[in-house]
């Protein structure tokens, strides 16, 4: 497959989505068998983690989710493909981002149903080899769904809680082939931003907004996960996320990415995990733990001109805080999804998420 011809891989994923989204519960396994390799790696947020059997993905993730969100439909905002620029992993990957919308009619992971429309933010990376999908990274914002159900999994966030829109230009669904030069420019903008972050490269101190202006347009929008929220303009992004993130998390280690691609004006990456950091107090309203934790992250970007201007973020915050001994899902819903040892006893008096759902 040529670097600038990813249409076969895109069509395979589009066909998979068409059949997956239309399948009955009895047909899910056959759809998985049709499109997914028998040697498969599926990466998903807590409490799912890694699954290596396509049948398990259907049984443990898709069937319960589709039972909870009835009449579920996929509302995509970004669809693109590209060759992975991370040499150790390689391959052709297809990316889809948007919301899975349905009527929240049954509990899911202990989250109480509302009987109303609910939207699960998601972003999915598929590696396509020949006529099969061989790897998937499926990241989804469970705390965002919890907040739609009236639960409060985290202390008040610094930025805005929103059902997030797609790109301002409405050009994210790249079903057709794109100009390869545009993709190269987008990848260059992403690489520049990643390599320019002073947290990783060290060097002289400078105002955070000055650093950000080298990579971002002034009217940038950072569409962050629930618990952090969305922010608009460089100054508010520095105040409402980037500044608190750097101040409240120490010993930051960049672990690299599994996949990084770009097509047209859009691009993105994911890691497993991207970062390892230690909460030193304050981030997301939480106390210090002195315990390193992993952040599994997807970033999707839109480029405008030579700089980045929109950024959609998916962070496995449930896993990160679970590594600190805080089982947010269990504490908020009352149903345990698995607890790791840590400092839960130290934090129990300081963090008491409660339901604000009306009786």
In tens, the pLDDT along 181-218 reads: 999 999 999 999 999 885 544 555 789 999 999 999 99
Contact between residue 298 and residue 123 where contact means Cβ atoms under 8 Å apart: yes
- Assess whether pLDDT exceeds 70 at residue 342: no
Indicate the pTM of the whole model.
Answer: 0.91
Looking at residue 3, its pLDDT comes to 54
Relative to beta strand 49-51, strand 36-44 is antiparallel
Band the pLDDT of 244: cuts 50, 70, 90: very high
Relative to beta strand 293-295, strand 259-263 is unpaired
Residue environment code for 305-342, b if the CB has 16+ CB neighbours within 10 A, otherwise e: eebbbbbbbbbbbbbbbbbbbbbbbbbbbeeebeeeeb
Looking at residue 346, its pLDDT comes to 29
For domain 7-148, the CATH class is alpha beta
Same fold, 7-148 and 180-344: yes
Looking at residue 199, its pLDDT comes to 52
Can you tell me which residue has the tokens 């989505």?
17
Ranked by mean pLDDT, the top range of 22-26, 65-69, 86-90, 343-347 is 65-69
Q: Maximum distance among all alpha carbons in the chain?
A: 60
Band the pLDDT of 300: cuts 50, 70, 90: very high
Looking at residue 327, its pLDDT comes to 95
For 307-311, what is the mean pLDDT?
98
The CATH architecture annotation of domain 180-344 reads Roll (3.10)
The percent of residues in the chain predicted with pLDDT above 90, rounded, is: 84
Looking at residue 228, its pLDDT comes to 96
- Assess whether pLDDT exceeds 70 at residue 340: no
Query: What are the domain boundaries of the chain?
Result: 7-148, 180-344
- Assess whether pLDDT exceeds 80 at residue 352: no
């Amino acid at each position: 497959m040529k670097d600038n011809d990813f249409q076969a891989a895109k069509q395979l994923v589009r066909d998979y989505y068409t059949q997956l989204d239309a399948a009955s519960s009895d047909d899910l396994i056959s759809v998985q068998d049709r499109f997914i390799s028998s040697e498969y790696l599926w990466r998903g947020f807590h409490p799912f983690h890694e699954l290596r059997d396509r049948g398990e993905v259907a049984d443990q993730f898709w069937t319960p989710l589709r039972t909870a969100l009835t009449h579920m439909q996929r509302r995509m905002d970004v669809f693109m493909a590209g060759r992975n620029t991370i040499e150790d992993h390689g391959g052709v990957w297809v990316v889809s981002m948007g919301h899975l919308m349905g009527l929240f009619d049954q509990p899911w992971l202990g989250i109480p149903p509302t009987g109303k429309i609910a939207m699960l933010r998601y972003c999915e990376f598929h590696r396509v080899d020949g006529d099969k999908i061989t790897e998937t990274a499926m990241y989804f914002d469970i705390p965002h769904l919890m907040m739609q159900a009236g639960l409060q999994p985290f202390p008040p966030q610094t930025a805005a809680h929103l059902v997030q829109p797609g790109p301002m230009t409405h050009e994210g669904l790249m079903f057709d082939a794109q100009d390869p030069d545009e993709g190269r420019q987008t990848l260059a903008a992403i690489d520049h931003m990643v390599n320019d972050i002073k947290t990783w490269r060290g060097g002289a101190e400078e105002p955070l907004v000055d650093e950000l202006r080298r990579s971002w347009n002034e009217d940038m929008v950072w569409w962050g996960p629930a618990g952090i929220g969305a922010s608009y303009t460089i100054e508010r992004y520095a105040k409402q996320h980037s500044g608190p993130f750097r101040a409240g998390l120490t010993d930051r280690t960049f672990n690299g990415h599994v996949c990084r691609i770009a097509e047209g004006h859009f691009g993105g990456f994911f890691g497993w995990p991207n970062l390892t950091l230690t909460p030193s107090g304050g981030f997301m309203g939480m106390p210090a733990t002195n315990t390193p934790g992993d952040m599994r992250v997807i970033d999707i970007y839109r480029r405008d001109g030579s700089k980045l201007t929109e950024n959609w973020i998916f962070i496995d915050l449930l896993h990160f805080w679970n590594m600190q001994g805080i089982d947010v899902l269990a504490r908020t819903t009352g149903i345990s999804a698995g607890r790791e040892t840590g400092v839960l006893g130290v934090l129990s008096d300081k963090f008491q998420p409660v339901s604000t759902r009306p009786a």
